[in-house]
Structure 1
């Protein structure tokens, strides 16, 4: 994983940099002393994991995360103050480490990030394919499109609901939407994409798929009605 360290204290950056060397699968791309410098690196490099301090001059670590796009890196907050933990986890970060950092605690957070990272990615060859590949717990699995009932965004994850199983992958819903064939799937809510052929009933702003209730927002309702070709 490509890593970026962001901390205004040089000793803290050096400590994290040294700990990253424990795991050869981690590649340090850069060390940043401010959020502004971090934004510059994020724009240039593909960063998979952000190791981020919270209290920094100017833009804080929390503000930095809020300013990132939907497709953001995995994030581990590192702070000397436990008071930020609740706010940090509300941002769906991987972990929150309290300074001073111990190797054991650091590796625990890294292993957690690596596990999430291994779940990521959904791949489509082209829209003529009737299946997708997903990475599920380190194993690449093929799922037929007609087995997918709907997808739900959950923080940094997307849950894929089929009749047999629920899969979780680390991705944004927008990224997956771009890879799914538009003649089969439609966005019905900020957090939901459904397989049109799986819709059983629609009642107001709720549709039912195999006894599961999926909300439909007003912004997508007209498009959904047109797509369903209601008689």
Structure 2
């Protein structure tokens, strides 16, 4: 991380340089003792973070920030508390009150590193691997690969598994929302089937092993993507 110290007090440069020598990822770009020197250097060198004093001759810290069209990240270093509120108008990462020790300096550095870290790429949404089915008194966590089809019967649903059935008062529309679209398909107002369980398709019906289920006219279009596969 490339840093620049801008402060009219040499001791501040020495302290920060000493702290940064302990950190392998910190690289000094230089030392400036007023805002004008900093402007000249920033025009030539890329910088990740400024350690910036507020009160300096020629051009103060806040005046420097107002001048810069593109600012590096900023950590204010000052012996005066009264500038803290104004400093956050410039979206600074931190405000170090002199004198500060290594621990407090490291905290400021970590804030800068967090701001410099790239945004994590948005991955594909996590696909559920189970369905929670609540019967009268028990919540069952059912692996999706065990579900053959779901059947709506009046005010309840039956989840047909490979070796058993579960009954739940949940509506079939609510259950459909919990299932991955690429593994289950609604074929009828009363049926959701697992694509992997379909053994044959014919006009108006599906075959799931020895069981035949009707395909509703308004749901036929749902099957087209799977038939094309």
TM-score between both structures, scaled by the size of structure 2: 0.52
1:95 aligns to what?
94
2:54 aligns to what?
54
SS at the partner of 2:56?
Answer: coil
RMSD between superposed Cα atoms in Å: 1.4
* Whole-angstrom distance in 1 between the partners of 2:49 and 2:109: 9
SS at the partner of 1:83?
Answer: helix
SS at the partner of 1:57?
Answer: coil
Which ranges in structure 2 are unaligned for 5 or more consecutive residues? 125-229
Query: For the structure 1 residues 67 and 142, does the alpha-carbon distance in structure 2 shift closer, same or farther, using more than 3 Å as the test?
Result: farther
**Offset at residue 91 of structure 1 (A):** 1.0
Which ranges in structure 1 are unaligned for 5 or more consecutive residues? 120-134, 144-231
Deviations 1:90-128 (A, max 9, x none): 110100000001111100000000010013xxxxxxxxx
Instruction: Give the length in aligned residue pairs.
Output: 124
Alignment of 1:175-194 (within 5 A): none
* Whole-angstrom distance in 2 between the partners of 1:22 and 1:44: 27
**Offset at residue 78 of structure 1 (A):** 0.2
SS at the partner of 1:4?
Answer: strand
2:8 aligns to what?
8
1:34 aligns to what?
34
* Whole-angstrom distance in 2 between the partners of 1:111 and 1:52: 17
If you compute each CA radius of gyration, which structure gives the higher value, 1 or 2? 2
* Whole-angstrom distance in 2 between the partners of 1:37 and 1:72: 15
Q: Please identify runs of 4+ aligned residues in structure 1 that moved more than 3 A.
A: 140-143
Query: For the structure 1 residues 68 and 141, does the alpha-carbon distance in structure 2 shift closer, same or farther, using more than 3 Å as the test?
Result: same
**Offset at residue 63 of structure 1 (A):** 0.7
* Whole-angstrom distance in 1 between the partners of 2:25 and 2:4: 14
* Whole-angstrom distance in 2 between the partners of 1:111 and 1:23: 12
1:18 aligns to what?
18
* Whole-angstrom distance in 1 between the partners of 2:27 and 2:18: 12
